[in-house]
Structure 1
Amino acid sequence: MQGSIVSKEDWSLHQQGQEDQRRHDQKIQQAVKDRLPELITEESVIMSDGKKVVKIPVRSLDEYKIRYDHSKKKHIGQGNGESEAGDIIARSKESGRQAGSDPGEDYVEAEVSIEEIETALFSQLELPDFKQKEEVEATKEGIQFTDIRTKGLTGNIDKKKTMMTAFKRNAMNGESGFHPILPEDIRYKTWTESKEKESKAAVIAMMDTSGSMGMFEKYIARSFFFWLVKFLKLHYAHVEIRFISHHTEAKEVEEETFFTKGESGGTICSSAYRKALEIVESDYPIERYNIYAFHISDGDNLTSDNERCLPLIKKLAAHCNMFGYGEVSQYHRQSSLMSVFTKSEQEDIRTFVVRRKTEVLDALKYFLSKKSRA
């Protein structure tokens, strides 16, 4: 009788590829998180159309390594005879340093999409103090006519119902031929006034484009607003963004102009705050809108203008859920304009100083959080 062999196959080996892919994806996500401060100010990202990818170094997956077991017979050139069982036989990958005995770490370049960077960044952000506004009457465009009545406004006459009423009256009276429509035949469309909760937001973006804003300062400002605009458009369905650029004068501009056009000349920041107030007071009543204002500058304001700024800052902040002022300063000095914001002493004003490119992330997280962090 021929013997039989019973064997058990390890099916986990068939899933090794999927497991390796999962681990690799986790490493990429962790690498994006670790390098996020650098990635969001990477020029290739800021200047992209949103569809490009960037490359970042990611630790490669662990591969099989030869382990030395001293219980086995040693071969010529195998080692110095001092290794223990389980020691990893590997070369150090340290460069520019003396030869070492520790194994190195292998890195590979992984392609990361803009969407992956957005996911990592936006998960940490939200508009502070965002709330449902008070109930308001529906606009005429949103009216739904729900009933027909004998009294109403001339502009709401229902012609079809009026004609049908006249025809029925003539038929009941046995009359034929054309007869004029009587006042009692006229029917009016009516509606029931409805009220709804509003969750709209208005954001005023102000950028200093004066001559004192050098290449570094302008790049930081554009990087901050680049991610702010992307975040708002992706996460808030009903948000209106208005763009103001200023030097000695402020003007409202289109989004493309805001990010591309350069200026020169002196700096009068009060012009930006005055323009922002005009926009808010004319178009965005606080009863219906969550209002936010952001201003990025180097703080190099005309000294005589600082006194004009203080009442405007307080007035604008009174309209806003939050007013954020970001100052770009590489030299660790506090400007006179920052002193004005400090004097305002209002809880709904937040200030932040950006000294390095990597601090743009800190600024975004500081302004776009539920509570201000020290």
Structure 2
Amino acid sequence: MSLPIERDVRRFRQIVRGKVRENLKRYVSHGEMLGRKGKDVVSIPVPSLDVPRFRFGDNSGGVGQGEGEEGESIGQGQGQGGQGAGGEAGAEHYTEVDVPLEELAALLAEELELPNIEPRGKAAIQAAKAKYNSVRSTGPESLRHNKRTYLKALQREISTGGYNPTRPNIIPVKGDKRYRSWTSVDEPMVNAAVIYVMDVSGSMTDEQKSVVRNAAFWIDAYLKSQYTGLERRYIIHDAVAKEVDEHAFYHTRESGGTRVSSGYRVCAELIEQQLPPAEWNLYVFQFSDGDNWGEDNDRAFTLLGERILPHVNQFAYGQVESPYGSGELLGQIESRFGDKHDNLVCCEIEDRDAIYPAIKTFLGAGR
């Protein structure tokens, strides 16, 4: 039987979940919780949750007593119409609520109707895991099994004739104590790696990188819910490319021209040297404004077609709209590879509001 406080907590969580679901599209589009991300939870602002309560007033006048005219309001609270402090209601108040990343991913999957991913190839790694499946008479107090300890003490009291049913007083002694014990078992641990490739040339602005950041946050959340482990790698490029950490990926200033082949080359080398497809489920997400140096296209498409597409679960190309980019790369990739590789997904991301449908396009195939 659950305690009232437990029912209240469950009810509160259901209300919070409903509020998050109502505002999920706005969270995805505008990234309001990205700066509040912790290790396993995100602090999300939700509208204040007011708990209804009775408010008792002054009933000294009684019902129907005193003078008055028909239609005149009764009771107190008829002010003088002054403009004192607090005369107007404020804007809607918000409360910070911690929501597990796993729950956010589940909400996203429900709202966008995302399928579960079927791992490909031999991407299963055996990992040792402790499984508590037995009880022993020695161990640390932190693993003491209280129920087994009590039962052992009760058996001892009954067997020695010391048990009094009318005044039961069971006090375990050292010999009664029982502790949880474990054995190590091998469990398959399916790993995945996601590689983000972003153009940081002069035509990519801070707004475009913010769109990429929001999309990557939700892609990470969903993939983490599908795999035991998720490795993230980041590549930036203008005319040259390099692997960087997450902070540099989102904060590198724009400069230089654009050679997409440089980003593909670093991505291919990363897969070949550190993330062999036989051991990893691989996802590549490329973000660009569609610009590329014309003479670089053949080199770039050779790398993509021969060293990346055949080895990944999915290659997703998202083209963010920029006032400076040509936007030609999207059509070129689709015409070159669209009919040959079913693991290729492309879409345009015109602005922040387009992030939500873009995520469904990227992840809806369940690869």
User: What is the TM-score with the length of structure 2 in the denominator?
Assistant: 0.60
Q: Which amino acid aligns with 1:353?
A: E
> Residues 78 and 260 (structure 1 numbering): CA distance in 2 closer, same or farther, change over 3 Å?
farther
Task: Using the TM superposition, give the Cα deviation of residue 122 of structure 1 relative to its aligned residue in structure 2, in angstroms.
Answer: 4.2
SS at match of 2:36: coil
Q: Which amino acid aligns with 2:45?
A: K
Is the Cα contact below 8 Å between 1:57 and 1:110 reproduced in 2?
yes
2:94 pairs with one of 109, 119, 132: 109
Task: Using the TM superposition, give the Cα deviation of residue 33 of structure 1 relative to its aligned residue in structure 2, in angstroms.
Answer: 0.9
Paired residues in the alignment total: 270
SS at match of 1:281: helix
Q: Distance in 1 between matches of 2:102 and 2:124?
A: 34
SS at match of 1:47: helix
1:217 pairs with one of 196, 203, 208: 208
Is the Cα contact below 8 Å between 1:129 and 1:321 reproduced in 2?
no
SS at match of 2:33: helix
Is the Cα contact below 8 Å between 1:28 and 1:58 reproduced in 2?
no
**Alignment match, 1:26:** 14
**Alignment match, 1:341:** 333
Q: Which amino acid aligns with 1:56?
A: V
Provide Cα deviations, 1:169-196, integer angstroms capped at 9, x if missing partner: xxxxxxxxxxxxxxxxxxxxxxxxxx99
**Alignment match, 1:148:** none
**Alignment match, 1:153:** none
> Residues 347 and 76 (structure 1 numbering): CA distance in 2 closer, same or farther, change over 3 Å?
farther
Unpaired runs of 5+ residues, structure 1, are 1-13, 66-71, 81-105, 139-194
**Alignment match, 1:237:** 228
Is the Cα contact below 8 Å between 2:289 and 2:322 reproduced in 1?
no
Q: Distance in 1 between matches of 2:10 and 2:298?
A: 58
Task: Using the TM superposition, give the Cα deviation of residue 233 of structure 1 relative to its aligned residue in structure 2, in angstroms.
Answer: 4.9
2:24 pairs with one of 33, 36, 54: 36
Q: Distance in 1 between matches of 2:300 and 2:17?
A: 44
> Residues 297 and 31 (structure 1 numbering): CA distance in 2 closer, same or farther, change over 3 Å?
same
* Same amino acid, percent of matched pairs: 29
Q: Which amino acid aligns with 1:112?
A: V
Is the Cα contact below 8 Å between 1:131 and 1:199 reproduced in 2?
no
Task: Using the TM superposition, give the Cα deviation of residue 360 of structure 1 relative to its aligned residue in structure 2, in angstroms.
Answer: 2.2
Q: Which amino acid aligns with 2:122?
A: K
Is the Cα contact below 8 Å between 1:27 and 1:58 reproduced in 2?
no
Q: Which amino acid aligns with 1:133?
A: K
2:317 pairs with one of 325, 328, 336: 325
Q: Which amino acid aligns with 2:36?
A: S
Q: Which amino acid aligns with 1:36?
A: L
> Residues 199 and 76 (structure 1 numbering): CA distance in 2 closer, same or farther, change over 3 Å?
same
1:131 pairs with one of 99, 109, 120: 120
Q: Which amino acid aligns with 2:120?
A: K
**Alignment match, 1:352:** 347
SS at match of 1:212: coil
Q: CA RMSD in A?
A: 4.0
How does 1:219-368 map onto structure 2 within 5 Å?
219-233=210-224, 235-315=226-306, 316-329=308-321, 335-343=327-335, 344-345=337-338, 346-368=341-363
**Alignment match, 2:45:** 55
**Alignment match, 2:172:** none
Provide Cα deviations, 1:349-373, integer angstroms capped at 9, x if missing partner: 001211232332332333223448x
Is the Cα contact below 8 Å between 2:203 and 2:322 reproduced in 1?
no
Is the Cα contact below 8 Å between 2:124 and 2:190 reproduced in 1?
no
**Alignment match, 1:182:** none
Task: Using the TM superposition, give the Cα deviation of residue 246 of structure 1 relative to its aligned residue in structure 2, in angstroms.
Answer: 0.8
Q: Distance in 2 between matches of 1:18 and 1:203?
A: 39
User: What is the TM-score with the length of structure 1 in the denominator?
Assistant: 0.59
Is the Cα contact below 8 Å between 2:105 and 2:225 reproduced in 1?
no
SS at match of 1:294: strand
Unpaired runs of 5+ residues, structure 2, are 56-62, 73-90, 127-185
Is the Cα contact below 8 Å between 1:296 and 1:326 reproduced in 2?
yes
Task: Using the TM superposition, give the Cα deviation of residue 26 of structure 1 relative to its aligned residue in structure 2, in angstroms.
Answer: 3.0
> Residues 300 and 28 (structure 1 numbering): CA distance in 2 closer, same or farther, change over 3 Å?
same
